[in-house]
Chains A and B, each alone.
Chain A
Amino acid sequence: MVIVFNKTMMTAWRLVARACSAINRRSSVPSHVYCTSVALSGSRSFSTGTAVRKDFFKGADVESYVKDFREKARAINPGSDWHPLHLTPGLPPERTDILIVGGGVVGWSIAYWLKKKERIRDGVRVLVVEKDPTYSQASTVLSAGGIRQQFSMPENIHLSMASADFMRNINEHLSVLNEDPVDLQFNHSGYLFLASENGAEIMEENYRIQRSAGAKVTLLSPTQLKEKFPWMNTEEVVLASYGLENEGWFDPWTLLNAFRRKAMSMGVFQCFGEVTGFKYRTHSMMTEDGDLVDLTRIRYVNVRMPNSLEYQPVECAIVVNAAGANAGEVAKLAGIGSGPQDTIGAIPVPVEPRKRFIYVLHCPDGPGLDAPFVIDYSGVYFRREGLGGNYITGMSPEEEEEPATTDLEVDHEFFQEKIWPHLANRVPAFEKLKVTSAWAGYYDYNTFDQNGILGLHPLVNNMYFATGFSGHGLQQSPAAGRALAELILDGGFRTLDLSALGFQRILSNRPALERNIV
């Protein structure tokens, strides 16, 4: 588009430019405004002489010039919110204290807790960089939304219990003045795990661990199970464990938005752009065993703006990697895993995307209001969705049958062949059903031990990780965010000791595995 500058417009431009540079002389201007004004004052070279400036000041109504100009600009570019002061809207600030890569529920939770824990107002500047404003591929919004305490690792149980506690008091934490209170639409229906002959012993053991951690879980015999849930076929079920409290499902969008709304009201900056690289310094150090390792410190993060090649280096002191399924890729950008073979520098961050399908079923005769989130020993799970006879179901495929992760296409064969037989076997009413829709999402899958990775990387000494939750990241996000904020601001875990989820286990090759968990 060619814009012909006429006299008035030119004047207004200059006025704006001058106003800008005047503002800039004061120090406390957000730096993205600074960038804009540099571009603007560049337009000074268009200046055609003094005459314009003279008649501009000769009693001309400054306001009306600006107004005129605005209207013209709007006429040139109808329907856009283009504004001369925001030439590149959403450009990140040039420097920040803490930069969080990934604006999923984990990223925003960390941002919220960092702000919550800061001692003085604006004590830390926090920037969240998210590449996709529509969240079309983020795991958070594509998840099943479940929360449970039925894990076997005490760390996971405590994380989920602390998160449930957070959700119970969510309006103490995340309500914003003059906005609607947060309504998570939490459904307190509990989880029901079924065990066959093989799994019963492990289930009993897990039950003991869960009880001693304080979770409200009970064990049910097949007879009790049949009595409680008459719609279920209990054949081959030897034992079941059923959560009484703090378990169920909720709306992930609401949780994500509540975190985001609150964090932004507390002064967290948000920017839409993709982290494409890091500028870092490396020092070689000798370990006790005489190995040479490279220690890295990130100085700048390159953030590329959406739909353009333009990028902005952001200087920061600490980077938090909360990029979900992409966390492994983001870690690679900082050189993690590219060290010489057989040293710890060669160990990558073991997080990769794994595609999982969720199918929406309609079955008017299916289980009613008492239906919990059922997890069969075959790996198939289902839960109710709303009150109109809708259900969602899914299953993790075998390791060797993992679908390609290039896109989010749904494989409908998978439902017909792998899920439906188990489903109809467990709940006879499901023999007749209709698949009304389906979607796929990426698990932030930790290939090492399917548990979250929380903590500082040993070789990049200012990159923290909160990722790899492999299918239970949504429910753990409130407590995981708090733990990471403690790690960053207090230098150690304060409320929950989660050191078992740190990097140490990966470097020393001691997986922290869940037992019997889907």
Chain B
Amino acid sequence: MALLMLMKSQGCVRSCVTITSRNLSSAPAPLAPPKLNSKLALFLYQRFHDVEQMVSWSSWLKRWTLRRKNVYYGYTQMHYGDNVAAAYYILCMKGRFRFAGQSDWFQTNYRGKFSWDFMNFRDVPIEEVDMSGTLINYSGLDNLESQQGLRSLSLRGCPEVDDWFLSHLHIFQDSLEELDLSHCSQITVGGLASLHRLRKLRRLGLSSLPRLQSPGLVRILLEEVLPHCHISGVEYSQGLDETGTDTGLQTETEINQLTEDHTYTQGPHRQTLTR
């Protein structure tokens, strides 16, 4: 019986593998072969329901913590106003900020404590925010939505900042001038394509984005749609040698694969419209 089950599950795994391998061209680089202890964990996970339950609890707990940290500060907002709520959120996340017209930054000390002086600035909007290395995510951004004068936002090395987050940044489309996205491990071109809505953007940092393919080409394309913006952290040549000309080809072959025998190719001659 166990043997049968095992064979069956092997069958499942195999079919899953073939399913995913169809998509290899679009998937990120393959993972390294699993280590012994992760193999053991997987074995236990598949064997025992308790282990499975524990794993699902722990991932639930992780998500819950993240959600709780990025919860909407509605209560603070109602009692103390938008600016205080935004400031409080930033400090709770261990970020830094600067009110408009001031030179001092508010930040937490090394033990995560902060002074409550920002409560005195109820009517002053926030101008610069530095959330580097924090767990800010899509829903946390709602806490900053009221800051329509925000000019600079740094998201350096934020693990939860993804393409959906970038598409949500349009809320600052009339104010944001500086944006730093360096070292954000989840960002791809699908999210960067939405940045053209930030028409005031003057400076954009894009260094070390592991999931961004052919960054050089993306820089050229971004400069095309954001002509006044200086993009740093990416060289034009980056990724061009292997992928620059490749991107077009790759998508084409992908499409050809997809359409299989419905593919039709017109001759290489250029057509012009005759009307």
Question: When the two chains form their complex, are residues B255 and A369 in contact, meaning their CB atoms are under 8 A apart?
Answer: no
Q: How far is the CA of A216 from the CA of B168 in the complex (A)?
A: 10
Complex contact B4–A436 (CB within 8 A): no
| Total number of A residues with any Cβ neighbor in B under 8 Å | 65
Assess the A360–B167 pair: CB atoms within 8 A: no
Inter-chain CA distance A179–B13, complex, in Å, is 11
Residue from A183, A360, A432 in contact with B252 in the complex, judged by beta carbons closer than 8 Å: A360
User: Contacts of A85 on B, CB cut-off 8 Å?
Assistant: 4, 7
**Does A7 make an interface contact (CB < 8 A)?**
no
Nearest CB in chain B to that of A441: its residue: B262
CB distance from B151 to the nearest CB of A (A): 20
Q: Is A127 an interface residue (CB 8 A)?
A: no
Give A17 Cβ to nearest chain B Cβ, in Å.
15
> Is there an interface contact between B263 and A437, defined as CB atoms closer than 8 Å?
yes
With an 8 A cutoff between CB atoms, is A257 at the interface? yes
Q: Assess whether B69 is interfacial by the CB under 8 Å rule.
A: no
Q: Provided the pairs A245-B168, A257-B19, A390-B252 are in contact, do residues A436 and B266 lie with their beta carbons within 8 angstroms? A: yes
Residue of B with least CB distance to A435:
B266
Taking CB atoms, residues of chain B closer than 8 Å to A257 are 19-20, 22-23
Whether A121 is near chain B, meaning CB under 8 Å from some CB there, is yes
User: Which of A26-34, A71-79, A482-490, A506-514 is found at the contact surface with chain B?
Assistant: A26-34
Name the B residues within 8 Å of A436 (CB-CB). 252, 265-266
Tell me which residues across on chain A come within 8 A of B103, comparing CB atoms: none
Partner of B194, one of A188, A385, A389, A420: A188
B49 beta carbon closer than 8 Å to chain A:
yes
Q: Give every chain A residue within 8 A of B194 (Cβ-Cβ).
A: 188-190
Q: Is the CB of A368 within 8 A of B225?
A: yes
Chain A residues within an 8 Å CB radius of B45: 177-178
Residues facing A in B239-275 (CB within 8 A) are: 245, 247-252, 255-256, 258-260, 262-266, 268, 270-273, 275
**With A264-B16, A368-B224, A434-B268: A23-B4 Cβ-Cβ less than 8 Å:** yes
Q: Say whether B207 faces chain A, with CB atoms less than 8 Å apart.
A: no
Residues of A within 8 A of B38 (CB): 178
The docked-state distance in angstroms from the alpha carbon of A424 to that of B271 is: 12
Mask, B216-236, CB within 8 Å of A = 1, is: 011001101100000000000
Q: With an 8 A cutoff between CB atoms, is B73 at the interface?
A: no
- In the complex, the answer to whether A370 meets B225 with C-beta atoms within 8 Å is yes
Tell whether B55 is near chain A: CB-to-CB under 8 Å. Answer: yes
- Whether B193 and A434, one on each chain, are in contact in the complex, defined by CB atoms closer than 8 angstroms, is no
A369 and B225 contact, CB distance less than 8 A: yes
Quick one: given A435-B266, A437-B264, are A178 and B19 in contact (CB under 8 Å)?
Answer: no
B174 shortest CB reach to chain A, Å: 12
Are A185 and B26 neighbours in the complex by a CB distance under 8 Å?
A: yes
Q: 0/1 per residue, A233-276, Cβ < 8 Å to B?
A: 00000000000111010010110010011001100000000000
Q: Return the CB mask of B184-218 against A: 1 if under 8 Å, else 0.
A: 00001111111011000000000000000010011
- Contacts A168-B138, A260-B19, A369-B221 given: A410-B264 contact, CB under 8 Å? yes
Which of B16, B164, B275 sits near A421, CB closer than 8 Å? B275
Closest to B4 in A: A33
Complex Cα distance, B31 from A180, in Å, reads 8
Q: Are B262 and A410 in contact (CB under 8 A)?
A: yes
- The reply to whether B12 and A264 form a contact with Cβ atoms under 8 Å apart is yes
Interface of chain B residues 24 through 63 with chain A (CB within 8 A): 26-28, 31, 34, 38, 42, 45, 49, 55, 63
Measured CA separation A69–B92 after assembly (Å): 68
Partner of B255, one of A265, A368, A385: A385
Partner of A179, one of B12, B20, B63, B190: B20
Contacts of A261 in B (CB 8 A): 16, 19-20
A247 to chain B, nearest CB (A): 9
CA distance A432 to B270 in the complex (A): 7
Alpha-carbon separation in the docked complex, A26 to B4 (Å) = 13
Q: Is A491 an interface residue (CB 8 A)?
A: no
A42 at the B interface (CB under 8 A): no
Which residues does chain A contribute within 8 Å of B142, judged by CB atoms? Answer: none
- The answer for the CA separation of A168 and B63 in the assembled complex, in Å, is 14
B263:A29 contact, CB within 8 angstroms: no
Q: CA–CA, A142 to B255, complex, Å? A: 10
B170 on the interface (CB 8 Å rule)? yes
Report A-chain residues with C-beta under 8 Å of the C-beta of B124. Answer: none
What's the nearest-Cβ distance from chain B to residue A19, in Å? Answer: 9
Q: Is B166 an interface residue (CB 8 A)?
A: yes
Q: Is the CB of A390 within 8 A of B225?
A: no
Distance A66 CA – B19 CA, assembled complex (angstroms): 32
A178–B42 CB distance below 8 A = yes
Given contacts A421-B273, A436-B266, contact A26 B7 (CB under 8 A): no
The winner among B19, B167, B197 for most chain A CB atoms within 10 A is B167
- A177: contacting residue among B16, B42, B249, B268, CB under 8 A: B42
Q: Within the assembled complex, what's the spacing in Å between the Cα atoms of A370 and B188?
A: 15
Q: Pick the contact of A183 from B4, B27, B63, B170 — CB < 8 Å?
A: B27
Nearest B residue to A218 via CB reads B170
Q: Given the complex of chains A and B, what is the CA–CA distance between A244 and B169 in angstroms?
A: 10
A402 surroundings in chain B (CB, below 8 A): none
Name the one of A26, A253, A408, A434 contacting B22, with C-beta atoms under 8 angstroms: A253
Neighbouring A residues of B164 by C-beta, 8 Å = 168, 186, 188
| Across-interface contacts of B225 in A (CB, < 8 A) | 368-370
Contacting residues, chain A, for B273 (C-beta < 8 A): 420-421, 424, 431
Q: How far is the CA of A388 from the CA of B254 in the complex (A)?
A: 13
A residues engaging B (CB < 8 A)? 23, 26, 28-30, 33, 85, 121, 136, 141-142, 168, 172, 177-180, 183, 185-190, 216, 244-246, 248, 251, 253-254, 257, 260-261, 264-265, 360, 362, 368-370, 385-390, 408-410, 412, 420-421, 424, 431-440
State the 6 A-B residue pairs at the shortest beta-carbon distance, nearest first.
Answer: A388-B248, A386-B251, A188-B167, A439-B259, A188-B194, A370-B196
Measured CB to CB, the residues of B under 8 A from A are 1, 4, 7-8, 12, 15-16, 19-20, 22-23, 26-28, 31, 34, 38, 42, 45, 49, 55, 63, 138, 163-164, 166-168, 170, 188-194, 196-197, 214, 217-218, 221-222, 224-225, 245, 247-252, 255-256, 258-260, 262-266, 268, 270-273, 275
Given A261-B19, A368-B221, A408-B262, 14 more A-B residue pairs with CB atoms under 8 Å apart are: A177-B55, A180-B31, A183-B26, A186-B190, A188-B167, A216-B170, A244-B167, A245-B170, A261-B20, A387-B189, A387-B221, A421-B273, A437-B265, A438-B262
Chain A to chain B contacts (Cβ below 8 Å), 20 pairs: A23-B4, A30-B4, A121-B49, A142-B258, A185-B190, A188-B163, A245-B167, A246-B167, A369-B192, A369-B218, A386-B247, A387-B189, A388-B251, A388-B252, A412-B264, A431-B273, A432-B270, A436-B252, A437-B265, A439-B262
